[in-house]
Structure 1
């Protein structure tokens, strides 16, 4: 397991909310779902992204946008187009005046636009597929896409893990990978697969979404101007890279700086100095953070006992894990589990 793979294990798609949008101007969607991570690929056309913090980002065909929650944002054809639908936590949809819209009303009947698809066309008010009229928007959700429209693929990771929070904390609220900055065919593959309704299709879509996310993040982290976090830069280091991978792969091993130095073939002083320079914290501090992040995710599993979790992450007893957990996180494992 390398560093990025380990941190991405948390946001791995498992039945992620995935939808295809066919939009014809004027259109605008206000996203307030507070999901920890959302990926949006522009298959054709163009769009404007307006983050809650301000500013404007224009994207076009082939671009991929990653949104880090819980910040709100708007995606529209133009900055001055008023939102026609608000997406709330749990993918609850409402009109601008607060009237609820069932997602089943938005989705196109199979054979019209395709499964997992909704859309608009330029005439009249907002109409859900199947003919249900909703207030305040454009007509034709469930209609065909007009010339000049925009096609978006949106995948929402709705569950955040403690491990993945170390990754998400390094990302900007809105991250854009431009089409000309990478060579990746996955947007096209995802566009082809999202409208299919074959056995195992959910698993296929989850894996394609994961691969697209990993490719986009690797591209962004590799940029010289991306200010990639230390743990990512350390991956390519011949000494610190293997050390980080060993700590992540075997958290239950009774690691010491001396043992880690011996495994990497350098002195304790050299390893400690190099590791701290690149990663931003000493080896044992990194290991503690990794162990407690793993423990926090394991504690969310209903059948996991504190003793079993302690063994898996390298603590000799439930008491030792509880002490470390409370010292670092400020609450006991039991309290964390009760509020999780």
Structure 2
């Protein structure tokens, strides 16, 4: 079971291409407000500066990718200290044409591809996005040839005006997201907060995660999962909690509720049937678990979607 792919599919994860910024010179700045959803910037040509929180400005170079998993506010500008105007104000003053927003005056050109990722729920509670740091920068000179190939192809689709480019680019954004996660995991070290993402690299705990995602409806117990990965129950429970951040059955409940949410959104099966499909023996037990995880009863969740 490809756990990452399964989680993204369950949450309805999809890439959306938003705008291409075409900026000339140094006298321009775009302030992106907190969005509650994941966003990214790809520097397709030229350079710009990124200001984030109280950190020193970072210069972004051609091919750099910046991912903001929780949609944190930030500023892109032509020079480090140039003030950023809210994107909505810039859009009113400089109408977007064919997906392009022109900023600045004379001088070198910078092309910045901007996009976001749609999914069920909010970024902070998303099983992937909520586990990532608020900002990830992948340098354009990354040693990963596959990531570089995706970056080049996405930049070309967004800047060359070929038929079907936006449809192709939208799919490539999803590929780019997975490649960025892979690069982040490859660079992760002991200082990285533990989560199920980093636990995927552990042979035994990663195998247990795969078993849970492959068949969440099974009546799993801690002892049963431990046997499957050839560990003692105490050692497995301790290692799982350390690497994933949750006890095994707590994580199982999250997986079941996530799958149930997808079934509630995409099918007309009765609530009791959905609960049974993901492993709950009664509608009452399912409703309690769903409400505990999502803060809303399953029936109300479906009506709201």
The TM-score normalised by the length of structure 1 is 0.76
User: CA 1:69–1:263 in 2, change beyond 3 Å: closer, same or farther?
Assistant: closer
Give me the whole-angstrom Cα distance separating, in 2, the residues matched to 1:293 and 1:102: 42
1:24 aligns with 2:14: no
User: CA 1:156–1:258 in 2, change beyond 3 Å: closer, same or farther?
Assistant: same
Gaps of 5+ in 1: 88-92, 109-115, 124-145
Aligned-pair CA distance for 1:319:
1.8
Q: Is the CA contact (8 Å cut-off) linking 2:39 and 2:116 kept in structure 1?
A: yes
1:193 aligns with 2:171: no
- Range moving further from structure 2, 16-25 or 238-247: 16-25
Q: Is the CA contact (8 Å cut-off) linking 1:221 and 1:228 kept in structure 2?
A: no
User: CA 1:32–1:339 in 2, change beyond 3 Å: closer, same or farther?
Assistant: farther
Aligned-pair CA distance for 1:27:
1.4
Partner of 1:101: 92
Which deviations, in whole Å up to 9, do the C-alpha atoms of 1:26-83 show, x marking residues without a partner? 1111212615111111122221122256643321112110113343221111233233
Aligned-pair CA distance for 1:324:
1.5
Partner of 1:90: none
Give me the whole-angstrom Cα distance separating, in 2, the residues matched to 1:214 and 1:224: 15
**Which of the numbers 117, 140, 147 marks the counterpart of 1:157?**
117
Larger Cα-atom Rg: 1
Which deviations, in whole Å up to 9, do the C-alpha atoms of 1:174-195 show, x marking residues without a partner? 2211223432221110111224
Structure (1/2) with the larger helix percentage: 2
Partner of 2:134: 173
Partner of 1:249: 214
Aligned-pair CA distance for 1:297:
4.0
Give me the whole-angstrom Cα distance separating, in 2, the residues matched to 1:102 and 1:78: 21
Equivalences for residues 90-169 of structure 1 within 5 A: 93-95=88-90, 101=92, 105-108=95-98, 116-122=99-105, 148-161=108-121, 165-169=126-130
Aligned-pair CA distance for 1:280:
2.3
Partner of 1:215: 179
Q: CA RMSD in A?
A: 2.9
Give me the whole-angstrom Cα distance separating, in 2, the residues matched to 1:176 and 1:318: 44
Give me the whole-angstrom Cα distance separating, in 1, the residues matched to 2:63 and 2:216: 39
- Range moving further from structure 2, 5-14 or 250-259: 5-14
Give me the whole-angstrom Cα distance separating, in 2, the residues matched to 1:296 and 1:239: 28
Q: Is the CA contact (8 Å cut-off) linking 1:64 and 1:178 kept in structure 2?
A: yes
Which deviations, in whole Å up to 9, do the C-alpha atoms of 1:117-154 show, x marking residues without a partner? 3323516xxxxxxxxxxxxxxxxxxxxxx5x2211111
Gaps of 5+ in 2: none
User: CA 1:149–1:302 in 2, change beyond 3 Å: closer, same or farther?
Assistant: same
User: CA 1:166–1:321 in 2, change beyond 3 Å: closer, same or farther?
Assistant: same
Q: Is the CA contact (8 Å cut-off) linking 1:221 and 1:227 kept in structure 2?
A: no
Give me the whole-angstrom Cα distance separating, in 1, the residues matched to 2:264 and 2:58: 39
Which deviations, in whole Å up to 9, do the C-alpha atoms of 1:226-283 show, x marking residues without a partner? 6053312322222111110110121112222233233323333332233223222221
Give me the whole-angstrom Cα distance separating, in 2, the residues matched to 1:244 and 1:118: 44
The TM-score normalised by the length of structure 2 is 0.84
Q: Is the CA contact (8 Å cut-off) linking 2:17 and 2:170 kept in structure 1?
A: no
